[in-house]
Chain A
Amino acid sequence: MIERFSTWLVRHKSPLLIGTVIAAVIFPYVFTSRYVLRIAILCLMYCMLAVSLNLMSGILGQISFGHAAFWGIGAYTAAILAKNHGWNNVGVLIVAALVAGLFGLLLSLPVMHLKGYYFTITTMVFCQIVRVIEINWMSLTNGPLGIMAIPKLQIFGQLIKSQQAYYYLILILLSLTTFIVHKVIHARMGYAILAVRDDDLAAGAMGIHVFKYKVLAIVISSMLAGAAGGFYSVYTSYIDPGSFTNAVSNNMLVMVIFGGLGNIFGSFVGATLLTVLPEVLRGFSEYRQLVFGALLVLLMLVRPEGIFGSVNFKYIGQRLSLEKSIAGGKHHE
């Protein structure tokens, strides 16, 4: 069924893409309720995080349980800059990305020698360490109380306050993220990263600088997560260490695997479903997490590779264009 759906998706690629963009642009004018908009904004932010994590875990193949750490580092950087240093322009997002990228670099250096679950445990532990520092560095992070009243963002001298504006901001950030990750995958660098994922020894033997590509992928991924973190802190204007736990990291990984590792479209679907589903289940209140867990198990039983994990969109596209050209040839005869 999914294969058929994917074929349909690829066949109607351009109208669907245009339709999605239009729908995404007019969305805040159709649904003006604060609650719906808030969920939409968070949903787009999680899409951004899932796509960036996909670069590390799906494309590079290093399963990370610590993505929330980069998100948190970005959020704290933006919050501290905005609150203590009076920065409230787009610069905070850039600096947040850069600082998170720096930590990504630091993490990637020792991690290079570790493989498989050793990388996983290191990322998990990294997330814990970052959270403990966030809790304990009272003078900088205000400890468990978190940072309150973070100033809103200012663009071209205009203070952005409305939900709509933040919606468009995250939409732009998400588009940028998708663009970057898509470019990375489909450039020479992406093929190198994929080769490193499949067999780094063989890739090294073919002359690919394994170390460089591993570091690059991790740094780009952490920078994107940092930018999402910066957005989160200026949008919610309140952050505390409780938002950046291992449970959140797990959640992000679940989004990526749910949609299918290494598949950008899958990450979108995974992030959207896993952000919206808990809200839909809110009616069940206390049974919410229970139902959510059960659904997770069920999905894994039905499609162990994630929804779009075994679907190769590129291959479908090539097959369709071949079919089209054959049909076109017949027509001309």
Chain B
Amino acid sequence: MLLQQIINGITIGSTYALVAIGFTMIFGVLELTNFSNSSLYMFGAYITYLLYSIVGARFFLAFTISIVLTGVLGYGVDRFALRRLRKKRAPKLSGLITTLGMSMVIDNSVMVFFGTDSKSFTNFMDFGKFYVGNAVVTWTQVIILSVACILMITLSIIVYRTKIGKAMGAIAQNQDAARLMGINTNKVISFTFIVSGFLACVAGTMVAMYYRSIETSMGTSIGTKIFAAAILGGVGILPGAVVGGLVLGVVETMVSAYISTGYRDAISFTILILVLLIMPNGLFGKKAVNKV
């Protein structure tokens, strides 16, 4: 029973982690709360759903095109709104409001086009299940967790080992100085947004397959959680986002199994507040140095 709950928790947590990675990348580079990230997550799932019927039931083709399209949309959010704000040296809050507006536009476009009722989604990674002790593990769960891990490792390598990752770090510290050092900041930021779009689409589609349904409110319900997961692990730290997502998922499942289903969100968020109070920089964060 306990093992089963842990396994379910890890699965849910790894879906949080998937979206949170993209979110935390943007947060780390721009210190921007990207509200449109959860909309991209929903958008990705819907586009896969739409393309699947258009390309004639070839799932991987549909999935690939959908990933590209969501990435393009992520790029668009940056290119047509946020880049102009950066150019004007607008306060950070207006960037936040812009992403909020963008997320409303994306959400409602999807709603107008597809309607608000939930649609059933086929699970393409349903390869049966196996037993670990008494606990049932489906292959879907294994695949979701592995994809989350693979993406985390790949992106960690990109962010911490490659040139473009170093450029991201430089931009996070000081955009102007980074530009003076010859970094094409716009290009790097666009790259970040495209990657976060890719991740949102992968996460959205996989979660849709796991639950076998999609609905237009799926983005809003995960919105706060990915924020929480990212902060829990430490802002801008990719492994932190994954661990934060997993912890949040496990705590939620435990609470709903042993205490009360209704208070699931409340208790996991209370734990989040406590973590913030004890370790304000998150589980993996380094202590920030305040300038005086």
Contact = CB atoms under 8 A, between A and B. Distances in A.
B231 A117 contact: yes
A113 B98 CA distance: 29
Contacts of B220: 247
A257 interface: yes
Interface stretch (B18-26, B42-50, B102-110, B190-198): B102-110
Interface string A193-214: 0000000010000000000000
A117 B235 contact: yes
Contacts of A289: 104, 107-108, 111
A294 B101 contact: yes
Contact of B266 (A121, A132, A250, A297): A132
Interface in A78-125: 110, 113-114, 117-118, 120-122, 124-125
B38 to A, nearest CB: 12
Contact of A290 (B112, B231, B269): B112
Contacts of A333: none
A258 B96 CA distance: 12
B217 to A, nearest CB: 11
B280 A117 contact: no
A254 B97 contact: yes
A146 B45 CA distance: 33
A300 B272 CA distance: 32
B29 to A, nearest CB: 14
B262 A132 contact: yes
Contacts of B108: 286-287, 289-290, 293
Contacts of B157: none
A128 B269 contact: yes
B248 to A, nearest CB: 11
A305 B91 CA distance: 7
B209 to A, nearest CB: 27
A120 B235 CA distance: 13
B93 A63 contact: yes
A304 interface: yes
A124 B227 contact: yes
A113 B277 contact: yes
Contact of A293 (B95, B105, B224, B235): B105
B272 A125 contact: yes
A120 B35 CA distance: 14
B207 to A, nearest CB: 20
Contact of B94 (A125, A246, A293, A305): A305
B33 interface: yes
Pick from B88, B105, B280 the residue with the most CB of A within 10 Å.
B105
A180 B88 CA distance: 35
Most buried by A among B81, B235, B265: B265
A192 B265 CA distance: 37
B61 interface: no
Interface in A278-313: 286-287, 289-290, 292-297, 300-301, 304-306
A290 B90 contact: no
Is the contact region of chain B dominated by helix, strand, or loop, or is it mixed?
A: helix
Nearest to B105: A293
A126 B277 CA distance: 14
A154 interface: no
B90 A304 contact: yes
Contacts of A286: 108, 111-112
A201 B98 CA distance: 31
Contact of B100 (A63, A121, A250): A250
A172 interface: no
Nearest to A245: B220
Interface string B69-97: 00000000000010011001011011101
Interface in A231-273: 246-247, 250, 254, 257-258, 261
A293 B104 contact: yes
A297 B273 contact: no
Given A113-B277, A129-B270, A136-B260, A300 B91 contact: no
Contact of B85 (A114, A135, A246, A304): A304
Nearest to A199: B292
A308 to B, nearest CB: 14
Contacts of B227: 121, 124
Given A136-B260, A201-B290, 12 more contacts: A113-B277, A114-B277, A117-B231, A118-B276, A122-B273, A125-B272, A136-B266, A286-B108, A294-B101, A297-B102, A300-B81, A305-B90
Interface of A: 63, 110, 113-114, 117-118, 120-122, 124-126, 128-129, 132-133, 135-136, 201, 246-247, 250, 254, 257-258, 261, 286-287, 289-290, 292-297, 300-301, 304-306
Interface of B: 31, 33, 81, 84-85, 88, 90-91, 93-95, 97-98, 100-105, 107-109, 111-112, 220, 223-224, 227-228, 231, 235, 260, 262-263, 265-266, 269-270, 272-273, 276-277, 280, 290, 292
29 contacts: A110-B273, A110-B277, A121-B227, A121-B272, A121-B276, A122-B276, A125-B224, A125-B273, A128-B269, A129-B270, A132-B269, A133-B266, A136-B263, A136-B266, A250-B100, A254-B97, A257-B94, A257-B97, A287-B112, A289-B104, A290-B105, A290-B112, A292-B104, A296-B100, A296-B101, A297-B102, A304-B88, A304-B94, A305-B90
4 closest A-B pairs by CB: A293-B104, A304-B90, A296-B101, A136-B262
